[in-house]
């Protein structure tokens, strides 16, 4: 069951929304995001709203994003990704 945090401070509600993982396919990215969301939920059950909670949640969100990027960089995941082409092209080359 997904906890309802709507009664919490708007900063808390704003930050916890970024821990959603329902849009991710099964695999390492979803697993990392799920565990991060579970920890964020645990912290919210233990602590009251306040500036330090908001700062900690923001920093943990940054850490979760780093963990997801690390998973993207693993050779196993790199081989599974769909290659969509370069973001930047050489001058004069078609995009």
Q: Tell me if 56 is assigned to some domain.
A: yes
Flag whether the pTM goes above 0.75.
Answer: no
pLDDT of residue 4: 83
Q: Tell me if 57 is assigned to some domain.
A: yes
Q: Tell me if 65 is assigned to some domain.
A: yes
**pLDDT tens-digit map of 12-32:** 999 999 999 999 888 889 999
Q: Tell me if 81 is assigned to some domain.
A: no
Q: Tell me if 90 is assigned to some domain.
A: no
Q: Tell me if 3 is assigned to some domain.
A: no
Evaluate whether 77 touches 83 at the Cβ level (below 8 Å): no
- Find the domain containing 28 and state its range: 10-75
Q: Tell me if 89 is assigned to some domain.
A: no
Q: Tell me if 16 is assigned to some domain.
A: yes
Structural tokens at position 81: 């990704």
**pLDDT tens-digit map of 23-81:** 988 888 999 999 999 999 999 999 999 999 999 999 999 999 999 999 888 877 655 55
Number of domains comprising the chain: 1
């Amino acid at each position: 069951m997904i906890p309802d945090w709507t009664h919490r401070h708007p900063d808390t509600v704003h930050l916890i929304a970024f821990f959603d993982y329902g849009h991710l396919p099964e695999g390492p990215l979803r697993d990392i995001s799920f565990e991060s969301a579970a920890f964020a939920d645990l912290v919210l059950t233990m602590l009251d709203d306040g500036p330090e909670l908001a700062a900690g949640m923001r920093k943990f969100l940054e850490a979760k994003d780093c963990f997801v990027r690390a998973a993207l960089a693993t050779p196993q995941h790199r081989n599974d990704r769909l290659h969509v082409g370069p973001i930047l092209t050489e001058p004069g080359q078609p995009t």
